[in-house]
């Protein structure tokens, strides 16, 4: 993978301070030796004297011997003929000697500057990784240097100095070594993550440390005042050539990039890169190098690497030993790849099993099911995915609501659901184990143990919260399964738990929405009923005002009419005149009764309560109705033994019942009226049924409206049922009408026995004294 030149992601304050601290530590690293620094100054001066340069190098005998070793190259046929520094300068040129000096100085400086870090070693031992392999690192650096040198020689059209290419290749990955020196534990973590993920180092470096080895290497090159060409190689190598600006030294960057690709493909040394090796042919084409040159340089590459490593004192081996080491490295890489593929295969099996379980769960999922049903489905899915064992679901719909415990047998059958009123917060600091697999031991929750009576081994049971703390429902799995690798992967378990928790939460939300809908419908019905009652109350108020005004205005005229007509009836000698006067008096009385009835609807009198026999009240009402209808033996009464007495206003209740009974008698000329009285708790129920034609649909809608009547005009005023409902409602009762399934009409009256209910609540000693039969 190629890194980008610059990251566009903004750094927060903490990350920025960390990067600045790392860069300041790089600036605090030791500088190059005085000899190397002076040599760089002299070589950049066109008027410098070769004798001064030779004397400067020969002032350090150890440096002199290593430089002579680097300069003895068999491929140029010089062999052991280079015996002095002056000879090396004359035979190979000043740039070759300068490259050798710089290579030796950098190697000795960084290889000797190590930090022993116990934490880093412990981390590597715990993760089974080795961190940065210094010997392997330098072998890879020398390999890239030799490959860069050979590619530069084989590609003269690029005009890249082989000596300069060698130094650039040797130093290209110094940033990795610098980060390992400054932050050994963090870099051990980077190396371990790269090996585990099989990915590029730079991406992980930026994630873990904050900067990558490209930036660190460039900063070190600036600190050492290395030439700009080396600074850019350390910064821009291994990046697509198309993304590099047209710099004068762009070809050498391409040479090092291609050389690194060759060395990675041959597994030469430790590159610290675990991603897929790059396409060497493509790298060569991007760098304008003939890909055939790779085959040309490869035969001499191992020999050159062995000689240069020997000169620097790096794990001295001949070229065949180096080749054997490359083969062993390839075998080790194959072994790691096999282990990785085996682990991925096992993870794939876990993922497939979890995915199958999730798919099966969704296929069986029915959104309209209740919470307990869904919990049972979750238990069955858990048995399928995790194996048979003990399972229960602990669920809390909302904060401050009781927990619901649904327990299941090993076959997944529901065995009960219990409410547990316990204020347990699984997300508090003391309950963190409950949110991490396999969960908190149930022994830590004594309030729950008491409800798990059917658990064979309670010590193995754990409670694992399946969803996050979001202020909504909380779902926990009570189980006795391991829930850890190799039984199931962490990601697969998280997916299963999230699926199950989502299903239970969805069921809870569905039930809540259903309850809310039912409450809303009930509220709407109540509101409609209240609106109807309010409209009726307003109508009655207006009717009462009209009745009061009519009574006030009509009382005196009606009194005069009634009195005079009665006087005329007594004084008249002609029977026809007496009948006419009696009709006038009767009409006046009817009008007076109508006004009285209207006033009763609008402004009913206060109740005068008494404890009376239900049977006596109903019988008296039936007698009144029979008398008004002028019939005998058409009304039958059936009272259950427990009906007893009721607290009511006898006169007003008889008035209400007589209107209902009279309406039933008049439904048909030959019908019989059946009255049944019984008691339902503290409520007296009266059912008045007849054998007539029943109510019309219009009558069912408007029977209680004032002045409504389905009878021929002139028969009734239409106030009877209206007056009955008004008087029954005064007793806090209700009256409903319907048609009987077998034919005829049926009126049901419910009268709550309030006084009897209060007596029952206050005790047997306080209720008997209020009861008496009328």
Q: Are 95 and 152 in contact (CB under 8 A)?
A: no
According to the model, what pLDDT value does residue 773 have?
Answer: 35
Whether pLDDT at 124 is above 70: no
Whether pLDDT at 253 is above 70: yes
Whether pLDDT at 678 is above 90: yes
Instruction: Mean pLDDT check: name the lowest of 158-162, 589-593, 632-636.
Output: 589-593
Q: Are 600 and 615 in contact (CB under 8 A)?
A: no
- Exposure string of 39-66, with b = 16+ CB inside 10 Å and e = fewer, is bbebbeeeeeeeeebbebbeebeebbeb
How do beta strands 673-680 and 635-639 pair? parallel
Q: Quote the tokens at residue 6.
A: 């610059």
DSSP at 769: G
Distance CA 683, CA 55 (A): 125
- pLDDT band, very low/low/confident/very high, at 116 (cuts 50, 70, 90): very low
Whether pLDDT at 568 is above 90: no
Alpha-carbon torsion (21, 22, 27, 33), positive or negative: positive
Residue 398: which region, alpha, beta or left (left: phi > 0; alpha: psi -120 to 50)? Answer: beta
Which residues in 537-657 belong to E strands, given as ranges? 610-613, 635-639, 645-648
- pLDDT band, very low/low/confident/very high, at 328 (cuts 50, 70, 90): low
pLDDT tens, position by position, 20-30: 777 787 777 77
Q: Are 688 and 658 in contact (CB under 8 A)?
A: no
- pLDDT band, very low/low/confident/very high, at 123 (cuts 50, 70, 90): low
In terms of DSSP H, where are the helices of 365-406? Answer: 371-386
Averaged pLDDT for residues 618-625? 91
CB atoms within 10 A of CB 228: 12
Q: Quote the tokens at residue 588.
A: 């006046």
What predicted TM-score, i.e. pTM, was given to this entire model? Answer: 0.47
Residue 23, C-beta contacts closer than 8 angstroms, at least 6 positions apart: 211, 219
CB atoms within 10 A of CB 195: 18
According to the model, what pLDDT value does residue 7 have?
Answer: 41
Averaged pLDDT for residues 1-21? 55
CATH number of 352-482: 3.30.450
DSSP string of 207-234?
A: HHTSS-HHHHHHHHHHHTT--HHHHHHH
Q: Quote the tokens at residue 7.
A: 């990251």
According to the model, what pLDDT value does residue 152 have?
Answer: 92
Whether pLDDT at 6 is above 50: no
pLDDT tens, position by position, 459-476: 788 888 887 655 567 888
Domain 515-602, what fold? Helix Hairpins (1.10.287)
Q: Quote the tokens at residue 644.
A: 């007893």
CA dihedral 464, 469, 470, 472 (to 10 degrees): 50
Averaged pLDDT for residues 268-294? 88
pLDDT tens, position by position, 492-526: 788 888 888 888 888 878 887 888 888 898 889 88
Residue 754, C-beta contacts closer than 8 angstroms, at least 6 positions apart: 647, 682, 732
Angle at CA 677, nearest 5°, toward 653 and 759? 70
Instruction: Mean pLDDT check: name the lowest of 218-227, 260-269, 553-562, 722-731.
Output: 553-562
pLDDT tens, position by position, 47-63: 556 676 677 676 666 56
Question: Kind and range of the H or E element at 9?
Answer: none
Q: Quote the tokens at residue 662.
A: 């009279």
Q: Are 304 and 146 in contact (CB under 8 A)?
A: yes
Crossing angle of helices 61-71/292-312, nearest 10°? 160
Is 283 in a helix, a strand, or coil?
Answer: helix
According to the model, what pLDDT value does residue 770 have?
Answer: 36
According to the model, what pLDDT value does residue 748 have?
Answer: 94
Q: Are 483 and 438 in contact (CB under 8 A)?
A: yes
pLDDT tens, position by position, 329-382: 556 556 666 566 666 677 777 777 778 878 888 887 776 677 778 888 888 888
Whether pLDDT at 31 is above 80: no
According to the model, what pLDDT value does residue 684 have?
Answer: 93
The proportion of the chain whose per-residue pLDDT surpasses 90, expressed as a percent, equals 13
Nearest to 173 by CA among 214, 131, 228: 214
According to the model, what pLDDT value does residue 151 have?
Answer: 93
Task: Tally helices (H) and strands (E) across the chain.
Answer: 27, 13
Angle at CA 733, nearest 5°, toward 727 and 736? 90
Averaged pLDDT for residues 87-103? 66
According to the model, what pLDDT value does residue 4 have?
Answer: 39
- pLDDT band, very low/low/confident/very high, at 766 (cuts 50, 70, 90): very low
Nearest to 737 by CA among 667, 637, 646: 667
Distance CA 474, CA 394 (A): 8
- pLDDT band, very low/low/confident/very high, at 74 (cuts 50, 70, 90): very low
pLDDT tens, position by position, 139-175: 888 899 899 999 999 999 999 988 888 888 988 998 8
Averaged pLDDT for residues 388-396? 84
CA terminus-to-terminus distance, the chain: 104
According to the model, what pLDDT value does residue 127 have?
Answer: 54
The 734-739 sheet, strands edge to edge:
635-639, 673-680, 683-690, 745-752, 734-739
Distance CA 436, CA 697 (A): 66
Q: Which residue has the higher pLDDT, 607 or 598?
A: 607
Which residue is it, tokens 């008691």? 679
Distance CA 175, CA 187 (A): 11
Nearest to 70 by CA among 266, 321, 313, 319: 313
Q: Which residue has the higher pLDDT, 601 or 737?
A: 737
Distance CA 212, CA 183 (A): 12
Averaged pLDDT for residues 210-219? 90
Nearest to 603 by CA among 538, 544, 533: 544
Q: Are 439 and 433 in contact (CB under 8 A)?
A: yes
Q: Which residue has the higher pLDDT, 154 or 546?
A: 154
Q: Quote the tokens at residue 325.
A: 């080491």
Is 640 in a helix, a strand, or coil?
Answer: coil
Q: Are 426 and 403 in contact (CB under 8 A)?
A: no
According to the model, what pLDDT value does residue 774 have?
Answer: 33
- pLDDT band, very low/low/confident/very high, at 321 (cuts 50, 70, 90): low
Angle at CA 181, nearest 5°, toward 179 and 187? 50
Alpha-carbon distances, residue 293 vs 10, 160, 283, 290, 297 (angstroms): 43, 15, 12, 6, 6
Domain 1-30+115-317, what fold? Hypothetical protein af1432 (1.10.3210)
Residue 288: which region, alpha, beta or left (left: phi > 0; alpha: psi -120 to 50)? Answer: left
According to the model, what pLDDT value does residue 382 have?
Answer: 84
Averaged pLDDT for residues 300-307? 83
Averaged pLDDT for residues 231-253? 90
How many alpha carbons fall within 13 Å on the CB side of residue 93? Answer: 7
In terms of DSSP H, where are the helices of 224-279? Answer: 228-236, 250-265
Distance CA 179, CA 20 (A): 13
The proportion of the chain whose per-residue pLDDT surpasses 70, expressed as a percent, equals 71
Distance CA 98, CA 166 (A): 11
Averaged pLDDT for residues 712-721? 62
Q: Are 458 and 501 in contact (CB under 8 A)?
A: no
Q: Which residue has the higher pLDDT, 657 or 167?
A: 657
According to the model, what pLDDT value does residue 14 have?
Answer: 66
Nearest to 396 by CA among 319, 280, 320, 475: 475
Question: Kind and range of the H or E element at 403?
Answer: strand 403-408
Q: Quote the tokens at residue 493.
A: 């378990």
Nearest to 685 by CA among 734, 636, 731: 734
Whether pLDDT at 388 is above 70: yes
State the chain's mean pLDDT as an integer.
Answer: 77
Q: Quote the tokens at residue 288.
A: 């304008």
Alpha-carbon torsion (93, 95, 96, 101), positive or negative: positive
According to the model, what pLDDT value does residue 15 have?
Answer: 65
CB atoms within 10 A of CB 169: 31
Per-domain boundaries in the chain: 1-30+115-317, 31-113, 352-482, 515-602, 610-762
Q: Quote the tokens at residue 34.
A: 């005085």
CATH number of 610-762: 3.30.565.10
């Amino acid at each position: 993978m190629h890194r980008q030149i610059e990251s566009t992601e903004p750094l927060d304050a903490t990350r920025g301070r960390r990067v600045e601290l790392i860069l300041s530590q790089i600036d605090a690293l030791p500088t190059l030796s005085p000899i190397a620094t002076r040599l760089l100054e002299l070589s950049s001066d066109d008027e410098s004297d070769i004798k001064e340069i030779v004397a400067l190098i020969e002032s350090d005998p150890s440096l002199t011997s290593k430089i002579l070793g680097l300069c003895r190259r068999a491929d140029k046929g010089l062999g052991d003929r280079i015996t002095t520094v002056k000879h090396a300068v004359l035979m190979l040129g000043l740039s070759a000697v300068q490259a050798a000096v710089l290579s030796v100085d950098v190697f000795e400086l960084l290889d000797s500057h190590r930090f022993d870090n116990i934490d880093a070693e412990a981390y590597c031992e715990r993760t089974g990784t080795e961190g940065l392999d210094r010997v392997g690192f330098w072998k890879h650096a020398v390999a890239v240097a030799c490959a860069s040198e050979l590619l530069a020689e084989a590609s003269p059209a690029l005009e890249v100095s082989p000596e300069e290419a060698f130094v650039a290749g040797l130093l290209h990955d110094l940033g990795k070594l610098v980060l390992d020196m400054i932050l050994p534990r963090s870099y051990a973590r980077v190396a371990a993550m790269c090996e585990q993920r099989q990915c590029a180092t730079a991406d992980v470096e930026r994630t873990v440390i904050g900067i990558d080895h490209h930036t660190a290497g460039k900063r070190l090159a600036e600190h050492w005042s290395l030439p700009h060409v080396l600074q850019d190689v350390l910064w821009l190598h291994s990046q697509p050539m198309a993304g590099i600006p047209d710099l004068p030294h762009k070809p050498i960057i391409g040479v090092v990039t291609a050389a690194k690709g060759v060395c990675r493909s041959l597994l030469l040394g430790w590159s610290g890169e675990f991603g897929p090796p790059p396409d060497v042919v493509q790298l060569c084409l991007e760098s304008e190098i003939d890909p055939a040159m790779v085959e040309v340089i490869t035969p001499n590459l191992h020999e050159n690497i062995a000689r240069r490593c020997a000169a620097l004192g790096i794990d001295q081996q001949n070229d065949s030993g180096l080749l054997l080491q490359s083969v062993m490295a390839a075998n080790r890489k194959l072994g790691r790849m096999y282990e990785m593929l085996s682990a991925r295969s096992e993870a794939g099996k876990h993922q497939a099993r979890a995915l199958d379980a999730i798919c099966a769960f969704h296929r069986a999922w029915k959104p309209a099911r209740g919470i307990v049903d869904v919990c049972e489905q979750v238990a069955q899915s858990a048995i399928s995915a995790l194996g048979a064992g003990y399972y229960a679901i602990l669920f809390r719909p909302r904060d401050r609501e009781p927990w619901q415990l649904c327990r299941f047998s090993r076959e997944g059958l529901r065995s009960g659901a219990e409410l547990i009123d316990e204020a347990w917060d699984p997300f508090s600091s003391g309950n963190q184990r409950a949110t991490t697999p396999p969960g908190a031991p149930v022994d830590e929750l004594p309030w729950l143990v008491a409800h798990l009576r059917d658990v064979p081994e309670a010590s193995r049971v754990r409670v694992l919260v399946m969803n996050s703390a979001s202020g909504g429902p909380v779902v926990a799995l009570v189980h006795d399964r391991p829930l850890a690798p190799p039984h199931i992967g962490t990601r697969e378990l998280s997916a299963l738990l999230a699926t199950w928790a989502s299903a239970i939460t969805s069921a809870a939300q569905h039930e809540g929405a259903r309850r809310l809908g039912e409450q809303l419908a009930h509220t709407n019905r109540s509101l409609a009923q209240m609106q109807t009652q309010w409209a009726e109350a307003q109508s009655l108020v207006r009717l009462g005002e009209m009745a009061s005004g009519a009574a006030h205005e009509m009382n005196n005229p009606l009194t005069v009419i009634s009195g005079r007509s009665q006087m005329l009836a007594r004084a008249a000698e002609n029977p026809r005149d007496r009948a006419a006067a009696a009709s006038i008096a009767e009409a006046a009385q009817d009008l007076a009764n109508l006004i009285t009835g209207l006033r009763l609807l609008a402004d009913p009198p206060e109740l005068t309560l008494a404890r009376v026999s239900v049977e006596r009240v109903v019988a008296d009402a039936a007698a009144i109705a029979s008398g008004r209808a002028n019939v005998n033996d058409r009304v039958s009464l059936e009272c259950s033994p427990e009906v007893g007495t009721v607290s009511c206003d006898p006169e007003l209740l008889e008035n209400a019942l007589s209107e209902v009974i009279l309406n039933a008698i008049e439904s048909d000329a030959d019908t019989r009226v059946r009255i049944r009285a019984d008691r339902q708790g503290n409520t007296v129920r009266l059912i008045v049924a007849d054998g007539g034609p029943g109510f019309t649909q219009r009558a069912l809608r408007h029977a209680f409206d004032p002045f409504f009547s389905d009878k021929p005009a002139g028969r009734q005023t239409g106030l009877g049922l209206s007056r009955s409902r008004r008087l029954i409602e005064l007793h806090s009762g209700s009256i409903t009408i319907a048609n009987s399934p077998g034919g005829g009409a049926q009126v049901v009256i419910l009268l709550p026995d309030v006084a009897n209910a209060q007596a029952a609540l206050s005790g047997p000693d306080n209720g008997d004294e209020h009861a008496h039969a009328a």
